[in-house]
Structure formats: structure tokens, C-alpha cells
């Protein structure tokens, strides 16, 4: 039985699974396969967002990956060589389609999609402040707080905006962000939520667990370090 209270017992709950593919033909199909391997992390809902160098495409649905992403018409509608996916185990926000990730927004810096595993412990306070300053929320998920913090940051570049946003966030999290400038993966400063990086040819892959790398035939490179942001753009990989 699922619970929405992360503090109802003394077990560490991993919640949610995230998976990202950068620079691969049929990226969304690979993400769907990776999410199959992570299904045990979240069985409430699943979603995939892709980018084809011109626009973003998203499909989100309640239920398992199988049945939602095993149809050609769905995968064909998620074109592009980069994609991120998410399987949901709810810890905040009600069970509804509006809370299914990845969440997407058009920002001043361009399109921004995020798949998030974890909990933001100061989300209520941050949300209250953002609403007071004019932000309009479309979901009850604490993940959307990150998007609004990025959107309202005074910094110029998207990377600096994201770093500024995460400095205000407290809690345990791992993120994979898909942008017009590439893919960004990061972990909270304590490294409580897992995130690994793999490679398949020239394709870079991020996942919650190495089992998802195995299922797509990718080689494990390393874990994303606590407090680290890994930025993938073109053939370059930068660590911050």
C-alpha cells in the first residue's frame, strides 16, 4: 500500500525513478526501456519529455510504463535525440495528472523540463513566498517550486539560474533537467538521493539506479557526486 507521508516509519524511502538520455537516435524509446527497469521505484504514474532541437514533446499518464509507453504512436510523438523520464511515487501533492512528471515550462532562457526524485523540506515556505510575488502554480508538487525559482532568478544564464534556485532549496533530491542548451543532472549536497551516469557509444545516460543502465546496454561511468551538477552539451561534459 502506498503512503503519502515520508515520515510514517523509520525506513529510508527512495521514492520516484528518473532516467535521461542525451544524444541518441530514438531517445524516448530508450527512456521508456530505462523506466521499465525503474518501475519498482514508482508505480503511480509515468512521463517522458523529449527535445528535437526545435520543440519539446511530452506524454504523461497515470499507471505503469507498460500500457502507456509501449505503443508506437506514443513513442513516435516523442521525437528528438534527447529525453528524460520519470516514474512517480507520490510524497507531496495529490494523485492527479497535473502532478505527473517531467514538469515543463517556457522560461525566458527557453524550454525547461525537470524530472525530480526526492523531497524539498522548505517547499511550503518557498511556495508561499513565490505566490506572494506573483507566481502561478499549475500543480501541487514541490517539484514546481524549482521551476519557479529558476524562472524568477536574477541571474542571466540558465545554469546560473538553476544554481541560484538550488541554493534556496533544502532537502534530499536528484534532478535531471532537459533544456534547449543540453541536459543537466545534479544531486543534493548530502547525496541522499541516488543518481548515476553511464555511456553507450556517444550517448550519455543518467539514471536513479545502475539496473536501468544495464537494461539499455550502457556502461556505468560513475555516480554523480553529492552537490555536483553535470552539464552535457554537444560532445562536452562539464562538472560544477
Active site residue ranges: 16
3-state secondary structure of 191: coil
The backbone torsions φ and ψ at residue 125, rounded to the nearest 5 degrees and listed phi first, read -65, -45
Q: What is the largest CA-CA distance in the chain?
A: 47
End-to-end Cα separation, the chain, in angstroms: 39
* Strand (E) or helix (H) holding 36: helix 27-37
Helix runs in 48-157, H state only = 72-76, 123-132, 143-152
CA 153 from chain center: how many Å? 20
Q: Are the CB atoms for 110 and 158 separated by under 8 Å?
A: yes
- Sequence-distant (6+) residues with CB within 8 A of 101 are 16, 47, 60, 86, 88, 114, 115, 116, 141, 143
- How far CA 162 is from CA of 21, 110, 140, 179, 215, in Å, comes to 20, 13, 20, 11, 31
3-state secondary structure of 58: strand
Amino acid at each position: 500500500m502506498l503512503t503519502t507521508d515520508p515520515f510514517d516509519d523509520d525506513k529510508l524511502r527512495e521514492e520516484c525513478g528518473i532516467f535521461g538520455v542525451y544524444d541518441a537516435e530514438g531517445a524516448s524509446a530508450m527512456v521508456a526501456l530505462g523506466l521499465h527497469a525503474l518501475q519498482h521505484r514508482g508505480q503511480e504514474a509515468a512521463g517522458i519529455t523529449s527535445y528535437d532541437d526545435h520543440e519539446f514533446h511530452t506524454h504523461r499518464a497515470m499507471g505503469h510504463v507498460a500500457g502507456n509507453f509501449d505503443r508506437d504512436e506514443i513513442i513516435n510523438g516523442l521525437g528528438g535525440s534527447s529525453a528524460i523520464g520519470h516514474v512517480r511515487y507520490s510524497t507531496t501533492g495529490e494523485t492527479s495528472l497535473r502532478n505527473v512528471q517531467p514538469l515543463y515550462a517556457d522560461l525566458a532562457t527557453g524550454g525547461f523540463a525537470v524530472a525530480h526524485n526526492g523531497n524539498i523540506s522548505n517547499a511550503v515556505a518557498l511556495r508561499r513566498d513565490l505566490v506572494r510575488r506573483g507566481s502561478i502554480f499549475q500543480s501541487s508538487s514541490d517539484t514546481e517550486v524549482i521551476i519557479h525559482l529558476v524562472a524568477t532568478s536574477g541571474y542571466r544564464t540558465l545554469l546560473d539560474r538553476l544554481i541560484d534556485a538550488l541554493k534556496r532549496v533544502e532537502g534530499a533530491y536528484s534532478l535531471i533537467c532537459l533544456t534547449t542548451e543540453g541536459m543537466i543532472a545534479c544531486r543534493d549536497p548530502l547525496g541522499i538521493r541516488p543518481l548515476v551516469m553511464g555511456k553507450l557509444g556517444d550517448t550519455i545516460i543518467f539514471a536513479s539506479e545502475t539496473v536501468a543502465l544495464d537494461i539499455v546496454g550502457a556502461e556505468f561511468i560513475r555516480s554523480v557526486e553529492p552537490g555536483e551538477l553535470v552539464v552535457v552539451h554537444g560532445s562536452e561534459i562539464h562538472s560544477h
